[in-house]
Amino acid sequence: MASQWDNILNFLLYLAVTLPLLGFGMLVFLFTTPYKEYALIREGADTSDPQKQGAAKAAAHDLGGKIIGLSIVLASAIYHSVNLFDLVIWGIVAIVFQVLVFYLFELVTPFRVISEIPKGNVAVGLFASRLSIATGLLMAALISY
């Protein structure tokens, strides 16, 4: 029974590090995009304007994909890390790369992602979301020792 308490303590320690990392990642994502995701989502919920509704959907997909992508990397980091500091390092690497991939996506597309999402282009939000999830999956697979 004592070893089970050790496992629970380990779970709680990793959870206490992972949740703030996820929150920090969300804050970084929110501050590194020029549009305000929560404002777009809020405005889209309180209107019948199709453009604002589209912008809300596009922003929600974009931000949601980044959160899922980061969560996938964090899950892999939890599994592979040798200690909590190792988890933090991989979490920060994942956050940085998610932001870099978003801006690389911005550079290589024939349209401006940062202007299409606020205009309500849901397809761009979905594409950005799936790109973030794919990035998370690849980064998760790259974590090994």
How far is it, in rounded angstroms, from Cα 23 to Cα 99?
15
Would residue 9 count as lying in a domain? Answer: no
| Residue 19 or residue 144, greater confidence | 19
- In this prediction, residue 61 has a pLDDT band, given cuts at 50, 70 and 90, of very high
Query: Domain containing 44: what range?
Result: 17-142
Domain count, the chain: 1
How far is it, in rounded angstroms, from Cα 70 to Cα 137?
9
Phi, psi of 40 (to 5 degrees): -65, -40
Percent above pLDDT 90 for the chain: 81
Would residue 12 count as lying in a domain? Answer: no
Would residue 3 count as lying in a domain? Answer: no
